[in-house]
Amino acid sequence: MEQQPANTGEAKLGVVEWRFGEFTLTDDPAKIDFEAVYCLLQATYWAGGRSRETTLEAMRHSACLGLCHGGKLIGFARIVSDRATFAWICDVVVDPAWRGRGLGKWMVERTLEHPAARTRTQALATRDAHTLYERHGFLRTEFLRRGPPTSPPAGS
Protein backbone atom coordinates (compact mmCIF):
# COMPACT_ATOMS: atom_id res chain seq x y z
CA MET A 1 0.00 0.00 0.00
CA GLU A 2 1.45 3.36 -1.04
CA GLN A 3 1.86 5.95 1.69
CA GLN A 4 0.14 9.23 0.86
CA PRO A 5 0.42 12.07 3.34
CA ALA A 6 -2.59 14.30 3.68
CA ASN A 7 -2.83 17.94 4.56
CA THR A 8 -4.32 18.01 8.03
CA GLY A 9 -5.74 20.60 10.34
CA GLU A 10 -9.08 21.83 11.51
CA ALA A 11 -9.71 24.09 8.54
CA LYS A 12 -9.57 22.01 5.38
CA LEU A 13 -8.58 23.91 2.27
CA GLY A 14 -9.81 23.14 -1.19
CA VAL A 15 -7.33 21.86 -3.74
CA VAL A 16 -5.23 24.64 -5.21
CA GLU A 17 -3.52 24.23 -8.59
CA TRP A 18 -1.54 26.49 -10.87
CA ARG A 19 -0.34 25.84 -14.43
CA PHE A 20 2.83 27.04 -16.13
CA GLY A 21 2.93 25.69 -19.68
CA GLU A 22 3.00 21.92 -19.30
CA PHE A 23 3.76 22.08 -15.56
CA THR A 24 1.27 21.95 -12.68
CA LEU A 25 1.82 22.93 -9.06
CA THR A 26 -0.79 21.37 -6.80
CA ASP A 27 -1.57 20.79 -3.15
CA ASP A 28 -3.73 17.77 -4.01
CA PRO A 29 -2.36 14.96 -1.78
CA ALA A 30 -3.45 12.37 -4.37
CA LYS A 31 -0.99 13.90 -6.87
CA ILE A 32 1.98 14.19 -4.50
CA ASP A 33 4.01 11.00 -4.75
CA PHE A 34 5.67 10.42 -1.37
CA GLU A 35 8.42 8.23 -2.84
CA ALA A 36 9.37 10.93 -5.35
CA VAL A 37 9.34 13.61 -2.62
CA TYR A 38 11.46 11.45 -0.33
CA CYS A 39 14.02 10.81 -3.09
CA LEU A 40 14.23 14.53 -3.95
CA LEU A 41 14.70 15.48 -0.30
CA GLN A 42 17.32 12.79 0.33
CA ALA A 43 19.53 14.51 -2.27
CA THR A 44 19.47 17.85 -0.40
CA TYR A 45 21.88 19.16 2.22
CA TRP A 46 19.06 20.03 4.63
CA ALA A 47 16.98 16.84 4.54
CA GLY A 48 19.42 14.16 3.37
CA GLY A 49 19.48 12.44 6.73
CA ARG A 50 15.77 12.69 7.43
CA SER A 51 14.06 9.35 7.97
CA ARG A 52 11.06 8.22 5.95
CA GLU A 53 8.91 8.39 9.07
CA THR A 54 10.01 11.95 9.89
CA THR A 55 9.45 13.06 6.30
CA LEU A 56 5.98 11.52 6.25
CA GLU A 57 5.05 13.05 9.61
CA ALA A 58 6.31 16.50 8.52
CA MET A 59 4.23 16.28 5.36
CA ARG A 60 1.13 15.23 7.29
CA HIS A 61 1.30 18.43 9.33
CA SER A 62 2.02 20.81 6.45
CA ALA A 63 0.51 22.19 3.28
CA CYS A 64 2.49 20.35 0.62
CA LEU A 65 2.88 21.43 -3.00
CA GLY A 66 4.00 19.10 -5.75
CA LEU A 67 5.38 20.31 -9.07
CA CYS A 68 4.31 17.84 -11.74
CA HIS A 69 5.12 17.31 -15.40
CA GLY A 70 3.23 14.64 -17.31
CA GLY A 71 1.94 13.13 -14.07
CA LYS A 72 5.47 12.82 -12.62
CA LEU A 73 6.52 14.77 -9.53
CA ILE A 74 9.62 16.87 -10.30
CA GLY A 75 9.52 19.45 -7.50
CA PHE A 76 8.22 20.00 -4.02
CA ALA A 77 7.62 22.73 -1.43
CA ARG A 78 6.15 22.59 2.05
CA ILE A 79 4.41 25.25 4.14
CA VAL A 80 4.26 24.92 7.93
CA SER A 81 1.61 27.38 9.03
CA ASP A 82 -0.90 28.35 11.66
CA ARG A 83 -2.82 29.85 8.68
CA ALA A 84 -3.19 33.17 10.50
CA THR A 85 0.00 34.77 11.77
CA PHE A 86 3.01 32.71 10.67
CA ALA A 87 4.15 30.46 7.83
CA TRP A 88 7.50 28.79 7.25
CA ILE A 89 8.33 27.92 3.63
CA CYS A 90 10.60 24.87 3.58
CA ASP A 91 11.79 21.83 1.64
CA VAL A 92 11.71 23.74 -1.66
CA VAL A 93 13.39 21.53 -4.25
CA VAL A 94 13.31 20.95 -8.02
CA ASP A 95 14.75 17.80 -9.59
CA PRO A 96 18.23 18.68 -10.96
CA ALA A 97 17.20 17.50 -14.44
CA TRP A 98 14.52 20.23 -14.54
CA ARG A 99 16.50 23.15 -13.09
CA GLY A 100 17.42 26.22 -15.11
CA ARG A 101 13.92 26.67 -16.58
CA GLY A 102 12.54 29.16 -14.08
CA LEU A 103 10.50 26.49 -12.32
CA GLY A 104 11.96 27.18 -8.87
CA LYS A 105 11.18 30.89 -9.15
CA TRP A 106 7.66 30.16 -10.38
CA MET A 107 7.12 27.58 -7.64
CA VAL A 108 8.19 30.02 -4.89
CA GLU A 109 5.89 32.74 -6.31
CA ARG A 110 2.93 30.37 -6.29
CA THR A 111 3.82 28.94 -2.88
CA LEU A 112 3.62 32.45 -1.43
CA GLU A 113 0.10 32.76 -2.94
CA HIS A 114 -1.12 29.55 -1.30
CA PRO A 115 -3.77 30.12 1.42
CA ALA A 116 -1.51 28.51 4.05
CA ALA A 117 1.24 31.07 3.31
CA ARG A 118 -1.00 34.15 3.33
CA THR A 119 -0.04 35.13 6.85
CA ARG A 120 1.41 38.25 8.43
CA THR A 121 4.89 36.72 8.67
CA GLN A 122 6.62 34.19 6.45
CA ALA A 123 10.03 32.68 7.17
CA LEU A 124 12.48 30.36 5.51
CA ALA A 125 16.07 29.29 5.90
CA THR A 126 18.57 28.63 3.14
CA ARG A 127 22.30 28.16 2.91
CA ASP A 128 22.68 28.80 -0.81
CA ALA A 129 19.55 30.26 -2.46
CA HIS A 130 19.32 33.73 -0.94
CA THR A 131 18.84 35.56 -4.25
CA LEU A 132 15.88 33.33 -5.18
CA TYR A 133 14.05 34.36 -2.01
CA GLU A 134 15.26 37.96 -1.57
CA ARG A 135 13.37 39.02 -4.70
CA HIS A 136 10.20 38.07 -2.78
CA GLY A 137 11.09 40.23 0.21
CA PHE A 138 12.80 37.63 2.40
CA LEU A 139 15.77 38.80 4.45
CA ARG A 140 18.87 36.77 5.20
CA THR A 141 18.66 35.39 8.70
CA GLU A 142 20.31 32.83 10.91
CA PHE A 143 18.30 29.94 12.29
CA LEU A 144 19.35 28.11 15.39
CA ARG A 145 19.53 24.39 14.73
CA ARG A 146 19.34 22.34 17.87
CA GLY A 147 19.69 18.72 18.65
CA PRO A 148 17.37 16.75 20.88
CA PRO A 149 16.56 18.33 24.26
CA THR A 150 19.16 17.65 26.92
CA SER A 151 18.77 17.18 30.62
CA PRO A 152 19.53 20.19 32.82
CA PRO A 153 22.90 20.10 34.57
CA ALA A 154 22.93 18.29 37.91
CA GLY A 155 22.05 20.57 40.80
CA SER A 156 19.96 22.96 38.68
Q: How does pLDDT run across 125-147, given as a tens digit for each residue?
A: 555 544 555 554 544 555 444 45
Strands 121-123 and 86-94, how do they pair? parallel
141 within a domain of the structure (yes/no):
no
Domain span at residue 86 reads 27-134
Number of domains into which the chain is organized: 1
Is residue 86 within 8 Å of residue 50, measured between CB atoms?
no
Residue 54, Cβ neighbours under 10 Å: how many?
Answer: 11
101 within a domain of the structure (yes/no):
yes
17 within a domain of the structure (yes/no):
no
154 within a domain of the structure (yes/no):
no
149 within a domain of the structure (yes/no):
no
pLDDT tens digits, 64-97: 999 999 999 999 999 999 998 888 888 999 999 9
The residues near 133 (Cβ < 8 Å, ≥ 6 apart) are 108, 124, 126
What CATH number did the domain enclosing 39 receive? 3.40.630.30
Q: Which helix (H) or strand (E) holds 105?
A: helix 103-113
Please give the pLDDT value at position 135: 53
146 within a domain of the structure (yes/no):
no
